[in-house]
Chain A
Amino acid sequence: MSLDVLVCVKRVPAPGAKVPLTEDGRDIDTRHLGFTIGPHEECAVEEAVRLKERHGGSATVLAVGPPEVAEQVRYAIAMGADRGVVVDTGQDELDPQATAAAIVHALGELDARFDLIMFGNESADAGHYQVGVRVATELGWPIVGGIKGIEVTDGGVRLRREIADGSEVYQLSLPAAVAVKEGLNLPRYPSLPGRLKAKKAKLDTISWQPPPGGLRKIRLRQPEEKRADSVLLGHGPEAAPAVVDVLEELGVC
């Protein structure tokens, strides 16, 4: 059974050890940061490409945001996706209701039908945990989140989710949506031919301003760090007795 899969990805800053903020605190200062696809969504792209390789069909990637999101869409094409869609809203960060509305709008504009829509479980930066559920609800499709295993069965997908004390299995008929987590697979690095193909690929662009949702970001703040200065226990193997003293003090040894 061949599958036509759509993967929704988000362009997010790739932070290092600290996340710098703009002076007015309204946003992340991205002047010196790169951008990336979040880890959950990178796994979603990999899975879509594997499903196509194994079962036939197609893998389409869609991103919502300013025109720069094309960079992440092209990266997904370099990984093996066939087609890329940019939903150009002109804005950096929409609230989750507006993002979902933009995706639903784009689905109506595209001349393609999908069997499976994949989302990351939550975006790596904002973490609103809801865009996939909102899109699926508008479409009337089933969706389950937290998924780390997808198996194509007769007419549907069998999904595996890890929970604290074990795992759960869900069986959905197609069309369906799924929100996945890192650990689903180990994403590939784009090949050189893949990169060339991505560079030349013609992306579909849909320009649309969604109505704003009800959640408005006022400002971002760095969380307080409660820890005092680190206590240096020593250098190299000579530090071992001091380390074991600490283990005993903490009652773990």
Chain B
Amino acid sequence: MLLLVVQVDDHPAWLDAVQLARGLTDDVHAVLFDASRADELAKQGIKAAHVVEHDVLSDYAPEAYGEALAQLVGELQPSGVLAVGSEKGNEVMAHLAARMRAPFAANCTQISGTGRPWLITRIRGGGMLLEDAEMDAGCGVFTVQPGAGTGAETPSTVDQVDVRRFTPDLRDELARTRVIERTEREAGVSLATADVVVSGGRGVGSAEGYRVLEELAELLGGAVGCSRVATNNGWRPHSDQVGLTGTKVAPKLYIACGISGATQHWVGCMDAKAILAINTDPDAPMVTRSTYSVIGDLHEVLPAVIAEIRARNASAGTSG
């Protein structure tokens, strides 16, 4: 039996984890920290759900989550435990593995084998490289890289999910790493979820140089992003940074202005459905890896693009 931790931070990629788990066995049980999600599990072919309940788990608390899972694993003796390779998915599974003193493979794209050993493929450097590895573990601890599944549903024969309660024995001390305060982000287009990201790098040249990118982003209802060079030069806040150590984006269109395309940046934007590179250097990696490219100075190209959009909008407006 495989245990699938559905709920750490409600990441939509839990369906990728379902697919990898169902690829190994039909005997998949879910772990929930809130029973309300149980209804979604039957059509994913998940037979049973273990709802973990305890006062210490009143809000996200990585140590307590890890300890609760370790106790559940002790009781159920699954052959493996999977979660989504989100930031918190990786954090909780690291706590679980540390408590079990077991190995843990993060951000897997493939899992096969039976434990002696498990054969896995995982991503390194945010997707710069793939690593094939062996893992010796009675109970394998894995997280699944978002996007690792094909998106296809695995047929289900489960009508009714068997919902069971599990109350771990948690010391009050484990509340020491629980969230004590939350602040909601202000409304507006977020970099992570925008349909269009207008992103600038070294070629923008200055903080003021981003005005034209902001203007285009606003016109397209998108967000402004930047490369690490821009953050390090103090041109943009780190919250705008796209890349391995910034935000990973997957918009419909990523417009890379004056960005050469170092690997650290590429892994942050490679999941975009289309990339338009605007660069003076036709041999820049971002240009050669892009879907569309314009060779030229972004400070000349972008104003012309903005003028063209305005002109078309205006003529569409007057013609009806």
Contacts and interface: CB of A to CB of B under 8 A. Distances in A.
B296 A142 contact: no
A90 interface: no
B192 A186 contact: no
B7 to A, nearest CB: 15
Q: Is the interface of A mostly helix, strand, loop or mixed?
A: mixed
A236 B126 CA distance: 33
Nearest to A17: B285
Nearest to A13: B125
A136 B99 CA distance: 11
Scoring A17, A181, A215 by chain B CB atoms within 10 A of each residue's CB, the highest score goes to A215
B264 A217 contact: no
Contact of B124 (A220, A236, A250, A252): A220
B170 to A, nearest CB: 14
Interface in A223-237: 223, 225, 227, 230-237
A56 interface: no
Contacts of A19: 125, 128-129, 263
Contacts of B273: 250
29 contacts: A17-B285, A28-B129, A38-B245, A97-B103, A122-B90, A129-B91, A130-B106, A133-B91, A137-B95, A138-B98, A143-B62, A143-B177, A168-B183, A169-B180, A169-B181, A170-B177, A172-B176, A183-B238, A220-B130, A221-B130, A221-B131, A223-B127, A230-B289, A234-B294, A237-B301, A239-B304, A240-B305, A250-B274, A252-B222
Interface stretch (A59-67, A158-166, A197-205): A158-166
Given A217-B133, A239-B301, A246-B292, A170 B183 contact: no
Interface string A97-125: 10010000000000000000000011011
A249 to B, nearest CB: 9
Interface residues of B, number: 99
A223 B133 contact: no
A219 to B, nearest CB: 5
B104 A17 contact: no
Contacts of A195: none
Contact of B184 (A144, A166, A217, A220): A166
A215 B105 contact: yes
Contacts of A232: 292-295
Nearest to B295: A235
Given A125-B124, A127-B126, A237 B304 contact: yes
A175 to B, nearest CB: 12
B17 to A, nearest CB: 16
Interface of A: 15-19, 21, 28, 38-40, 95-97, 100, 121-122, 124-130, 133-134, 136-138, 142-146, 148, 162-173, 181-183, 186, 213-223, 225, 227, 230-241, 243-244, 246-247, 250-253
A127 B107 CA distance: 9
A142 B137 CA distance: 26
Contact of A171 (B94, B180, B219): B180
Given A183-B241, A236-B301, A250-B252, A225 B289 contact: yes
